[in-house]
């Protein structure tokens, strides 16, 4: 079962390093008081499942993906935790999972997919 994340209060946030900011190389990070997962506050934010379904639709026109393949891909993406729980996941890890799922059902190279997604 997925956690219904609830961020901690500002006073309880932890200081962790961040990749690139102008002021400092550390920042306060909220975490879930139920499961302890640290929230992603980077610029590499995850996207909701609808975004990825729209990308799949656009891909299907460009690379001739059949309805059956789209349905199998959509069903697998819908069951992946990376696309349901957005609290601590990064956008790049979602993209990686999306590409792997597309490749599982379609004969498309990683380079073709990455060039389309960038």
Predicted confidence band of residue 57 (pLDDT cuts 50, 70, 90): very high
The predicted pLDDT at position 49 comes to 94
Cα(103)–Cα(43) distance, rounded to whole angstroms? 27
- The predicted model scores a pTM of 0.81
Listed in order, strand segments (DSSP E) in the chain are 14-17, 26-29
Burial of 80 (0-12, 13-18, 19+ CB in 10 A): middle
**What CA–CA distance (Å, rounded) separates 87 from 93?**
13
Rounded Cα gap, residues 79 and 62, in angstroms: 25
Write out pLDDT tens, residues 70-90: 999 999 999 998 898 888 899
* Predicted confidence (pLDDT) at residue 21 exceeds the cutoff of 60: no
Task: Locate the domains of the chain by residue range.
Answer: 1-43, 49-117
Helices within 13-90 (DSSP H only): 49-63, 67-79, 81-84
By three-state DSSP, how is residue 100 classified? Answer: helix
pLDDT at 22: 61
Backbone φ and ψ of 100, nearest 5°: -60, -40
């Amino acid at each position: 079962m997925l956690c219904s994340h609830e961020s901690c209060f500002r006073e309880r946030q932890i200081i962790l390093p961040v990749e690139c900011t102008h002021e400092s190389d550390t920042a306060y990070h909220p975490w879930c008081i139920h499961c302890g997962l640290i929230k992603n506050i980077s610029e590499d934010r995850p996207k909701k499942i609808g975004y990825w379904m729209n990308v799949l639709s656009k891909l299907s026109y460009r690379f001739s993906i059949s309805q059956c393949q789209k349905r199998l891909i959509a069903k697998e993406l819908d069951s992946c935790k990376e696309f349901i729980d957005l609290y601590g996941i990064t956008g790049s890890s979602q993209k990686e999972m999306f590409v792997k799922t597309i490749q599982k059902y379609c004969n498309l190279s990683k380079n073709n997919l990455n060039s389309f997604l960038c």
